[in-house]
C-alpha cells in the first residue's frame, strides 16, 4: 500500500468516525426530543379540553343564550356530556400523534374550500355599507361551487413535480421509518407532529360545530360545508369578521344570502363558530408556552447538527469519490 493510499484510507476512516460520533449525539437528543414533545402534547390536551368547554359555554350562554334555553334539561345535559366526550377523544388523538414513528411522504395538502373562497367573486358593497362592514360570503355562489365538488376530498401537490393532481381519495404512499440517528429525520418528525396537531384541532372544531348545529344551538340554515369554508376563511386575505365580543377560540362571520346587491332586503346570516387555535391556547397557558420555547430551542440545536451532519456526509462522499477516481485511472 502506497503512502498516498494509506493517508486516503485513514482520512476516510476518520470522517466516518466523525459521522458515527455525531449520530450518537443525535440519538441522545432524540430521546429528549420525544420526551419533550410528549410533555407538550400532554399539557396541550389538558389545556385544550378546558378551553373547548369554555368556548362552547360562551357560545351557548353568551352568543346563543335563547337557543340553549330552548333545550330541555336532558338535552342540556346530553350536550354537555357530548362536549366532554369530544374533549376526551381530542386528548387521545393528540397522544397518538407522537406514537407515529413513520415519516409521512412530504406533500402539500391544500384545503379545497379555503382555495374556493379565494377564487370567489368579491361581492359589490352597497353604498350605505360602512368601511368596516362585516365579511360577506355569497352563500349561493358557494353552494353552486360545492355541487361540483361533492366527491373531492383534497388537492395534493407533489413537491417534486410541476403537475397538480386532483384526487378523490387519499393516496397510499410508502412511509419511511424514522432514523433516530439522523437529525433531518427529527426535523421532519417535528413538522409532522405540528401538522398532526393542526389537523386534530381543525377536525375537532368541525365536530363541535356540527354537533352544536345538530343540537339547534348554531343556525341550521347554513350547510356544514359552508361552515367549514367560513372557518378556513378566517385566515384568507380580505375576509373580516363582524363586530362581536372577542372570545378565545370563537370566530364570528357574516354570510350574505342575497345575490341581488341592489336589493334593500339583502341580509346577512351572522354566525359564531368554534375554532380551536394553537396560538390562543399557548397564549393563555404559561407552562405550555414555556414548553414550546424549549422545543423551539431544541429544534434549533438539531438544525445545527443537521448542517454538520450533511457537511460530514459530503466530505466522506468527496474523499471516496477521489479514491474511486484514482483506483479507476490508468495511463495510456
User: Half-sphere exposure of residue 121, counting CA atoms within 13 Å on the CB side?
Assistant: 11
Phi, psi angles (nearest 5°) of residue 211? -65, -40
| pLDDT tops 80 at residue 95 | yes
Higher pLDDT, 227 or 128: 227
- Residues facing residue 110 across a β-bridge: 155
pLDDT at 104 (0 to 100): 86
Comparison of pLDDT for 217 and 113, the residue scoring more? 217
pLDDT tens-place string over residues 150-164: 443 333 333 333 333
CA distance 176 to 73: 51
Using one digit for the tens of pLDDT, what is the confidence trace for 182-241?
999 999 999 999 999 999 999 999 999 999 999 999 987 777 777 776 666 554 433 445
Instruction: Note the pLDDT of residue 77.
Output: 96
Predicted local confidence at residue 254, as pLDDT: 75
Question: What residue spans define the domains of the chain?
Answer: 3-171+179-328
Is the CB of residue 190 less than 8 Å from the CB of residue 255? Answer: no
State whether the Cα torsion 142-145-151-153 is positive or negative: negative
Instruction: Give the pLDDT of residue 164.
Output: 37
Question: Is residue 7 over pLDDT 50?
Answer: no
pLDDT band at 44 (very low <50, low <70, confident <90, very high): very high
Q: What is the pLDDT of residue 131?
A: 43
Long-range Cβ contacts of 62-70 (<8 Å, 24+ apart): 62/245, 62/247, 63/244, 63/245, 63/247, 63/250, 63/272, 64/217, 64/218, 64/272, 67/216, 67/217, 67/218, 68/217, 70/216
Q: How many residues does the chain have?
A: 332
Residues 32, 82: contact at Cβ < 8 Å? no
Task: Name beta bridge partners: 176.
Answer: 103
Q: Which of 21-35, 161-175, 304-318 has the lowest mean pLDDT?
A: 161-175
Model pLDDT, residue 120: 53
pTM value is 0.74
pLDDT, tens only, 262-321? 554 456 678 889 999 999 999 989 999 999 999 999 999 999 999 999 999 999 999 999
Of residues 34 and 111, more confidently modeled = 34
Residues 6+ away with beta carbon under 8 Å from 274: 52, 55, 56, 59, 205, 208, 209, 212, 249, 250, 251
Lowest-pLDDT choice from 45-59, 64-78, 218-232: 218-232
d(CA 263, CA 4): 89
pLDDT at 314: 92
| Contact predicate 273/209, CB 8 Å | yes
**Residues 6 or more apart whose Cβ sits within 8 Å of residue 32:** 298
Amino acid at each position: 500500500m502506497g503512502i498516498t493510499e494509506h493517508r486516503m484510507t485513514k482520512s476516510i476512516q476518520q470522517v466516518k468516525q466523525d459521522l458515527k460520533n455525531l449520530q450518537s449525539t443525535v440519538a441522545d437528543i432524540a430521546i429528549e426530543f420525544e420526551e419533550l414533545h410528549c410533555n407538550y402534547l400532554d399539557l396541550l390536551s389538558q389545556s385544550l379540553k378546558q378551553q373547548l368547554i369554555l368556548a362552547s359555554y360562551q357560545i351557548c350562554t353568551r352568543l346563543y343564550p335563547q337557543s340553549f334555553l330552548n333545550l330541555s334539561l336532558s338535552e342540556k345535559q346530553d350536550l354537555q356530556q357530548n362536549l366532554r366526550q369530544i374533549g376526551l377523544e381530542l386528548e387521545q388523538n393528540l397522544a397518538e400523534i407522537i406514537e407515529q414513528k413513520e415519516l409521512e411522504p412530504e406533500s402539500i395538502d391544500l384545503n379545497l374550500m379555503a382555495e374556493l373562497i379565494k377564487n370567489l367573486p368579491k361581492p359589490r358593497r352597497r353604498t350605505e355599507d360602512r368601511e368596516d362592514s362585516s365579511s360577506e360570503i355569497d352563500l349561493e355562489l358557494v353552494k353552486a361551487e360545492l355541487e361540483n365538488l361533492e366527491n373531492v376530498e383534497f388537492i395534493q401537490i407533489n413537491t417534486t413535480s410541476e403537475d397538480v393532481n386532483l384526487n378523490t381519495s387519499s393516496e397510499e404512499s410508502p412511509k419511511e421509518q424514522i432514523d433516530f440517528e439522523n437529525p433531518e429525520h427529527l426535523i421532519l418528525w417535528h413538522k409532522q407532529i405540528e401538522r398532526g396537531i393542526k389537523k386534530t384541532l381543525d377536525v375537532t372544531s368541525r365536530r363541535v360545530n356540527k354537533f352544536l348545529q345538530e343540537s339547534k344551538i348554531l343556525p341550521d340554515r347554513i350547510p356544514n360545508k359552508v361552515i367549514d369554508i367560513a372557518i378556513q376563511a378566517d385566515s384568507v386575505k380580505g375576509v373580516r369578521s363582524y363586530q362581536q365580543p372577542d372570545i378565545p377560540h370563537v370566530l364570528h362571520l357574516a354570510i350574505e344570502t342575497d345575490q341581488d346587491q341592489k336589493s334593500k332586503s339583502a341580509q346577512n346570516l351572522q354566525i359564531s363558530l368554534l375554532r380551536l387555535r394553537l396560538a390562543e391556547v399557548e397564549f393563555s397557558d404559561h407552562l405550555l408556552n414555556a414548553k414550546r420555547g424549549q422545543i423551539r430551542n431544541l429544534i434549533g440545536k438539531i438544525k445545527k447538527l443537521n448542517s454538520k451532519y450533511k457537511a460530514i456526509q459530503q466530505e466522506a462522499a468527496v474523499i471516496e469519490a477521489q479514491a474511486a477516481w484514482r483506483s479507476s485511472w490508468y495511463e495510456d
